[in-house]
Amino acid sequence: MPELIRKRYKELIEEHILDFLPDIDHKSITLYESMKYSLSAGGKRIRPMLLLAAAEFTGCKLEAAIPYACAVEYMHTYSLIHDDLPAMDDDQLRRGVPTNHIIYGEAMAILAGDGLQSAAYEAMNKDMLLYFDDPDKLKKRIRASYEIAKGSGCRGMVAGQVADIESEDKACSREMLDYIHLTKTAALIVAAVRAGAQLGGADAETLNNLTIYAENLGLAFQIADDILDVVGSEKEMGKKAGVDQVKKKSTYPSLYGLEASKAKLMELTDNAIEALSSYYDNAEFFTKLATDLAVRGK
Amino acid sequence: MPELIRKRYKELIEEHILDFLPDIDHKSITLYESMKYSLSAGGKRIRPMLLLAAAEFTGCKLEAAIPYACAVEYMHTYSLIHDDLPAMDDDQLRRGVPTNHIIYGEAMAILAGDGLQSAAYEAMNKDMLLYFDDPDKLKKRIRASYEIAKGSGCRGMVAGQVADIESEDKACSREMLDYIHLTKTAALIVAAVRAGAQLGGADAETLNNLTIYAENLGLAFQIADDILDVVGSEKEMGKKAGVDQVKKKSTYPSLYGLEASKAKLMELTDNAIEALSSYYDNAEFFTKLATDLAVRGK
């Protein structure tokens, strides 16, 4: 069952992922191509899937959540494009294909990232206009957009990226590492889940439980990624392996060792699952997703 | 009178320009410093002033328009920071001080730009939450935010930046140059004016007249800038003079000659003024601003 649901979510996202790019004049068409290139380069679509799942879980029609699901994936994609730039992580490969700036050049990659962030807000804002006659639904949409703004912004994803860049080539404390993981990775995952729950009009308790799930999942996700960087192959990851060590990046494996990292991954995964499965009997999708993500880092 | 009004707008903007940066954790404090650096580096504040003026002109309380005025300046500032990057225009000086990446490095400058765009939306979104009990005011705010999203995004400012970059070192048609000016410069100026008018709940006719004003002003503004690049000094502009020619950038002076450019500047300025002064007897602020901007390029 959860596999079928996930397939359905994934198909919906793939079907609509380009729908919310504005109609771009042919004089700026490279911008469209560059944004499309990175949006179409695959990826697990974890964040939009979680948004759809949380929306459905809390009673929002799936179709109504699609603009927000795509918006959150636009945010994630813009952050990857900027993250890969020479001035940042200087990565040539992502999801098995050349990174955006390798194909389109640095200037266009910067602008594609800027354009994607802007397209995300334009899509959400435009969607709000459709609900001017339904104040209740309108408010849910504003709350959802605000979750995404907070999670992707200066106290969330962007802050994490800053702390990450500033911690390179330096001894990094465990506290700092947790901060980086919470902001750089978990914040947008939490935002996706909370945005979906806002669309469904979740009560405070459900919102809280979903948040605990997402925080634990987000941290687990990053640790699994770091473990994979040590033990995985380039083929498995679609990008270079062992990069963290070469860059002297502090990670869970480098600060705690591989075994302790695996144990932490399992603990966080259990916490995530428990946050929902103890209270709801229809949380299989969330449980299965957490389990599957953890397996990557085993 | 218009001078006093302008002074009042400018003071309001300077007073509140940092108010809408999110509270940033000390672990990412460089992000705050970097954003603050560029926001505090002066500038004419044309866009937020126009937003305040249009809001007041159409009956919105000035204080209520401040978050949107600051949001539009955040957008403008983020675009300047990214524009100045080595991969883009590679400028070392802006408003008489070193550009953001010269002080904070390229990675931080990219992130400061990303963070400012995000802060703009977070501020507008947060402001909307305050009007949940007043559907009429809420709708005005959503419309204002949508104007800024459209003007700064993939059919506006970002599109213009793309076309500009792609036209470098190439013969550029007059049609293309107009497109670049309309998107890169005029779009956000139009958005500022329209956002203000949306906050005031302007009727279709007023919105239309203000749009014509802003389009003409925006084009005039860019031509004045291009003329100044030819005839001005570094001191006057706070950045290097003669840069366009060195970069072989197509401009009004390079395509039409200096005299024709000055004539065009006057024509656009007249159009801008006429769009409002023919219909309203309280448009002095707009008239004076257009006149003063045109004088720069005389």
Q: Render pLDDT for A153-211 as a digit per residue (tens, 0 to 9).
A: 999 999 999 999 999 878 889 999 999 999 999 999 999 999 999 999 999 999 999 99
Does the beta-carbon distance from B128 to A122 stay under 8 Å? no
Structure tokens at B200: 């005031």
Closest to A191 (Cα-Cα) out of A169, A168, A160:
A160
pLDDT at A239: 63
Q: Render pLDDT for A9-42 as a digit per residue (tens, 0 to 9).
A: 999 999 999 999 999 999 999 999 999 999 999 8
Domains for chain A: give ranges and CATH numbers: 2-296 (1.10.600.10)
pLDDT classification of A6: cutoffs 50, 70, 90: very high
A95, A41 Cβ separation under 8 angstroms: yes
Q: What is the DSSP string of B134-196?
A: -HHHHHHHHHHHHHHHHHHSTTTHHHHHHHHHHHTTS---HHHHHHHIIIIIIHHHHHHHHHH
Length of chain B measured in residues: 298
Does the beta-carbon distance from A161 to B111 stay under 8 Å? yes
**A74 to chain B, closest Cα gap in Å:** 13
pLDDT classification of B232: cutoffs 50, 70, 90: confident
**A149 to chain B, closest Cα gap in Å:** 5
Residues 6+ apart with CB under 8 A from A172: A180, A250, A255
Nearest to A25 among B79, B153, B179 (CB): B179
Strands of A147-277 (E only): list them: none
| Residues forming a β-bridge with A94 | A97
Tell me which chain B residues have a C-beta less than 8 angstroms from the C-beta of A153: 22, 115, 118-119, 121-122
Radius of gyration of chain B (CA): 19
User: What is the CA angle A151-A155-A160, rounded to 5?
Assistant: 90
Tell me which chain B residues have a C-beta less than 8 angstroms from the C-beta of A107: 87-88, 165
Nearest to B179 among A27, A113, A153 (CB): A27
Q: What number is the average pLDDT over the span A93-110?
A: 96
3-class secondary structure, A148 = helix
pLDDT at A271: 97
Taking the mean position of all CA atoms in its chain, how far away is CA A226?
Answer: 16
Q: Render pLDDT for B136-157 as a digit per residue (tens, 0 to 9).
A: 999 999 999 999 999 999 999 9
Q: Give the integer Cα–Cα distance in Å for A54 and A286.
A: 9
Q: Is the pLDDT of residue A298 over 60?
A: no
Q: Which residue has the higher pLDDT, A241 or A199?
A: A199
Q: Is the pLDDT of residue B168 over 90?
A: no
Taking the mean position of all CA atoms in its chain, how far away is CA B227?
Answer: 18
Does the beta-carbon distance from A105 to B87 stay under 8 Å? yes
Tell me which chain B residues have a C-beta less than 8 angstroms from the C-beta of A159: 24-25, 27-28, 31, 115
pLDDT at B98: 97
Q: Give the integer Cα–Cα distance in Å for B83 and B58.
A: 33
Does the beta-carbon distance from A159 to B31 stay under 8 Å? yes
User: What is the CA angle A85-B94-B222, rounded to 5?
Assistant: 95
Q: Give the integer Cα–Cα distance in Å for B230 and B164.
A: 18
Structure tokens at A247: 């860059």
Q: Is the pLDDT of residue A281 over 70?
A: yes
Q: What number is the average pLDDT over the span A95-100?
A: 93
For A129, the enclosing helix (H) or strand (E) is helix A106-129
Tell me which chain A residues have a C-beta less than 8 angstroms from the C-beta of B179: 25, 27
Q: What number is the average pLDDT over the span B111-129?
A: 98
Does the beta-carbon distance from A135 to B139 stay under 8 Å? no
Tell me which chain A residues have a C-beta less than 8 angstroms from the C-beta of B139: 132
Q: Give the integer Cα–Cα distance in Å for A109 and A117.
A: 12
Does the beta-carbon distance from A159 to B24 stay under 8 Å? yes
Closest to B81 (Cα-Cα) out of B102, B67, B61, B63:
B102
Q: Is the pLDDT of residue B84 over 90?
A: yes
Does the beta-carbon distance from A108 to B159 stay under 8 Å? no
Does the beta-carbon distance from B129 to A146 stay under 8 Å? yes
Q: Is the pLDDT of residue B282 over 80?
A: yes
Q: Is the pLDDT of residue A297 over 70?
A: no
A297, A224 Cβ separation under 8 angstroms: yes
pLDDT at A218: 97
Nearest to A118 among B87, B117, B166 (CB): B117
At residue A94, φ and ψ (nearest 5 deg) are -150, 130
B176, B184 Cβ separation under 8 angstroms: no
Q: Is the pLDDT of residue B298 over 60?
A: no
pLDDT at A234: 60
pLDDT classification of B230: cutoffs 50, 70, 90: confident
| Residues forming a β-bridge with B218 | none
Tell me which chain B residues have a C-beta less than 8 angstroms from the C-beta of A68: none
**A76 to chain B, closest Cα gap in Å:** 13
**A104 to chain B, closest Cα gap in Å:** 11
Tell me which chain A residues have a C-beta less than 8 angstroms from the C-beta of B155: 22-25
The residue type of B280 is Y
Helix ranges (DSSP H) in B88-129: 100-104, 106-129
3-class secondary structure, A97 = strand
For A94, the enclosing helix (H) or strand (E) is strand A93-94
Q: How many CB atoms lie within 10 A of CB B282?
A: 10
Closest to A54 (Cα-Cα) out of A296, A237, A276:
A276
pLDDT at A171: 81
Tell me which chain A residues have a C-beta less than 8 angstroms from the C-beta of B23: 155
